Structure 1
Amino acid sequence: MYGPRFRHNPAQLYRDIRREHGPVAPIVLEGGVPAWLVLGYREVHQVTTNSQLFARDSRRWHAWDNIPADWPLMPYVGYQPTVLFAEGAEHQRRAGAISDALSAVDQFELRALCERVCDGLIDTFAGRGQADLIAEYSHQIPLLVVARLFGLPDSDVPALVQDIAASLDEGDDAINAHMRNVLRMQQLVAEKRKEPGPDIPSRMLAHPAGLTDEETVIDLLMVMAAAQQPTGNWIGNTLRLMLTDDRFAVTLAGGRRSIGQALNEVLWEDTPTQNYIGRWAARDTQLAGRRIRAGDLLVLSLAAANADPQVRPDSHADSAGNRAHMSFSHGEHSCPYPAPEIAEVIAQTAVEVLLDRLPDVDLAVAPEALVWRPSVWMRGLFSLPVEFMPGYSHAV
């Protein structure tokens, strides 16, 4: 799962693994840690549907005695009392509060908010005639929007954006940045407990689920982190597709194909969340003929499932209108409703505003010069340099 083969062409690696091992394959993670990679669409559906057999509580893992405290994947598997690792009635209680709080977000107000955020970012580089649409645009939008949905003061947003980015990185400041975000959320929850507002934290605190302040803090941090990289990469990957694929040519003379179609194709072909760790078998079982022992770790390959030839005989077939992808996972522990719809509003608005404001935007380097981040888990570019006619310095 690591090395030049994966970095160069992960889709081909998934095909090779499936050809040699079938829809469930034995893999080795960093540090020689064994796991199962679930590549088949039907098998991913089976695992995510049966949350009692393939559970989320990582304390079920039988390998903990061999896992060092500084294992690089510890942030993904180390048990925390969040909704991510909760099971059964506890998960329903926590996830229900999040879903209801998100459901109260007005879609029209959300789009208007996204337009303001996108226009503000474009204003910072429109006069230059060039920009990096990853660092300066796509990866800033989700947090700027979510911070406002959380009711955070505008003065807190720049530091929050910087600390979330640092906490998701592997740099020396990651832990300190995470702790600053925890403190920030604790202060926000305390304020919203005293003076509720029309925002997500206030709705979670008032929910009949009876969340404690500690539960609200940790779940708000989870929502914020989950919104950042996947949505940012969805925007970035869609812009890359539209700027490099003749079917989505964006020029003043040529018009453009449906942005919604491009967004959907990215979820099939370059889904932001490639692989998801994980599930742990609650008891001995079988999956696609493999013997899975109680406590085994399963990694869900959402990208491989989307390209499963049993479901999509031609992996490059037109995916317009087909939303049966696994990009938001499936089942009880998938992205809570309506998070995917909110992410889509953010992503679609981001692409539309950019193309409306900078209609002559063009890639500033050859398409083959774009470099994907070498992550097993996420699919996104290091940068997306573009050029355009300067002068669109104010939103119309």
Structure 2
Amino acid sequence: MGEPHVELEQLYGPEFAADPQGVYARLRRYGPIAPVEISPGITAMLVTDYRAALDLLHDTVTWSKDPRKWQESVPEDSPILPMIGWRPNVMFNDGDVHARYRQAITDGFERIPPHELRTMVVGIADSLIAGFGADGQADLMGQFARLLPLKLFNRLFGLPDSYSDRLISSIAGMMEGDPAEASAANEEFQGYISELISAKKHVRGRDLTSWFLDHPVGLNDEEVTHQMVLTMAAGHEPTCNLIGNALARMLTDDRYYSTLSGGALTPRDAIQDVLLNEPPICNYSAHFPRRDVFFHGTWIRTGQLVMVSYTAAGAAHGRTGEGAGAGGSGASGSGGGAHLAWSAGPHSCPVPRAALLIATTAIERLCAWLSDIELTVPHDRLTYRPGPFHRALTELPARFTPISPGQAGETPWDSRDTGHSGNGRAEAEGESTPAP
């Protein structure tokens, strides 16, 4: 008799998006690692245990990040390949090649002073809020969280703000469009990157593109392109989801704010809570064993796809519950319990401090100006984009007292007629508000 058929848990589709914690709870019945389906016909093993995850992420002898052998068995048109298919970048290489790519990225970001990064985020946040402030309502995902990282990276890579709309439209098309639109958007994005590299090869600047081109590790044009594409994608999707998920918690939990002008917990508490309980990238860290291995009670064959559930492993280890604040020190050293949101080991996020600064500053800026903001739907009616890798809100509808534009040279709006104290709060915090 053959083996009984086992219906695998699916990490995609509306049911998973609606209740991922229920799926993770069922997966834990298998033990530290469980079989899953991440796309129709594509299976993987998913690590749901904190200690097992750390063992995998730190063991470069047993595990490889190179997916090329595995992807020979995957259809070329599989929707999973854009996230797991091999490229010459820091994500999908091992050893010296990985170290070389990572050095270029970390050195580039180290050349951006934190105060300059914060000033850029403040200016972009202010300009976005000025765009919808007079309306009294906004989708905080589509009009704020998704736009801010892209506008920021457009600047960091060395292009003026006038180019940011092109970047925004191409990324949106790749992520949200139908296959034909996604293909056209991908071509537009590749054109954006190619033109950017070409421009910087003629005239260098104080930007990531120039620093990648000139780095002593000697990246060629293809390698520069792939590090830029990865940096853009890895910087955008997690950051916008971190902002959105943290705002969703803050706007529905009285421990943060009865109004956003006062409360026991802060935006940073919300961010740490999300990193532990609802990471913006929930399942990733694709690894492939170099040999058959008996891993935490399960035999895994050579080259089999194994992923880490940052959500399941982190929450199982130190879950604080919805809306709980930071406390203790995490595996990543950023507080809020022992979370795995930045991954761990040699392939952990190379710039977690920059990501925290961007998200925290963006949320603080929004809360400073829109102090009575509230969601227009209950938290349990918020919806999430389907997919195995991210925890991403489709929208975050909110309302607030409208704020009206001010005069040139002043703050981007004037809330004096509405009874808000936003301008005074900014002045008290010692911040200047550049005109958009």
Which TM-score bucket, shorter chain as reference? Answer: over 0.9
Q: Deviations over 1:39-68 (max 9, x none)?
A: 11111111111123211110132x633x22
Count of equivalent residues: 389
Say if 2:133 is the partner of 1:130: no
1:11-22 correspondence runs (5 A): 11-18=21-28, 20-22=29-31
Alpha-carbon contact 1:272-1:378 (below 8 Å) kept: yes
The match for 1:74 is: 81
Q: 1:60 aligns with which of 52, 69, 74?
A: 69
Q: 3-state DSSP class of the match of 1:173?
A: helix
How has the CA–CA distance of structure 1 residues 252 and 290 changed in structure 2, closer, same or farther, with 3 Å as cutoff?
A: closer
Per the TM alignment, residue 162 of structure 1 is displaced from its structure 2 partner at its CA by 1.1
* Unaligned runs of at least 5 residues, structure 1: none
Alpha-carbon contact 1:83-1:219 (below 8 Å) kept: yes
Relative to structure 2, which stretch is displaced further, 246-255 or 224-233?
Answer: 246-255
- Asked which structure has the greater RCO (Cα within 8 Å, sep 6+), the reply is 1
Per the TM alignment, residue 185 of structure 1 is displaced from its structure 2 partner at its CA by 1.4
The residue identity in structure 2 corresponding to 1:243 is L
Relative to structure 2, which stretch is displaced further, 229-238 or 158-167?
Answer: 158-167
Per the TM alignment, residue 169 of structure 1 is displaced from its structure 2 partner at its CA by 3.3
Alpha-carbon distance in 2 for matches of 1:315, 1:178 = 39
The match for 2:19 is: 9
Q: What's the TM-score once normalised by structure 1's chain length?
A: 0.93
The match for 1:358 is: 370
Q: 3-state DSSP class of the match of 2:345?
A: coil
The residue identity in structure 1 corresponding to 2:365 is V
How has the CA–CA distance of structure 1 residues 267 and 78 changed in structure 2, closer, same or farther, with 3 Å as cutoff?
A: same
Alpha-carbon contact 2:38-2:388 (below 8 Å) kept: no
Per the TM alignment, residue 82 of structure 1 is displaced from its structure 2 partner at its CA by 2.0
Alpha-carbon contact 2:286-2:305 (below 8 Å) kept: yes
The residue identity in structure 1 corresponding to 2:55 is Q
1:249-328 correspondence runs (5 A): 249-251=257-259, 254-255=262-263, 257-276=265-284, 278-308=286-316, 311-312=317-318, 318-324=325-331, 325-328=339-342
Q: 1:378 aligns with which of 374, 378, 390?
A: 390
Say if 2:250 is the partner of 1:238: no
Relative to structure 2, which stretch is displaced further, 105-114 or 148-157?
Answer: 148-157
Q: 1:45 aligns with which of 54, 57, 64?
A: 54
Alpha-carbon contact 2:260-2:373 (below 8 Å) kept: no
The match for 2:6 is: none
Alpha-carbon distance in 1 for matches of 2:273, 2:227 = 30
The match for 2:99 is: 92
Alpha-carbon contact 1:268-1:319 (below 8 Å) kept: no
Alpha-carbon distance in 1 for matches of 2:225, 2:146 = 23
The match for 1:342 is: 354
Per the TM alignment, residue 85 of structure 1 is displaced from its structure 2 partner at its CA by 1.2
Alpha-carbon contact 1:265-1:320 (below 8 Å) kept: no
Alpha-carbon contact 1:247-1:257 (below 8 Å) kept: yes
Q: RMSD value over aligned CA atoms?
A: 1.8
Q: Deviations over 1:90-119 (max 9, x none)?
A: 111111011100111110011011000000
The match for 2:110 is: 103
* Unaligned runs of at least 5 residues, structure 2: 1-9, 332-338, 406-411, 414-422, 424-436
Alpha-carbon contact 2:261-2:368 (below 8 Å) kept: no
The residue identity in structure 2 corresponding to 1:10 is P
The residue identity in structure 1 corresponding to 2:362 is A
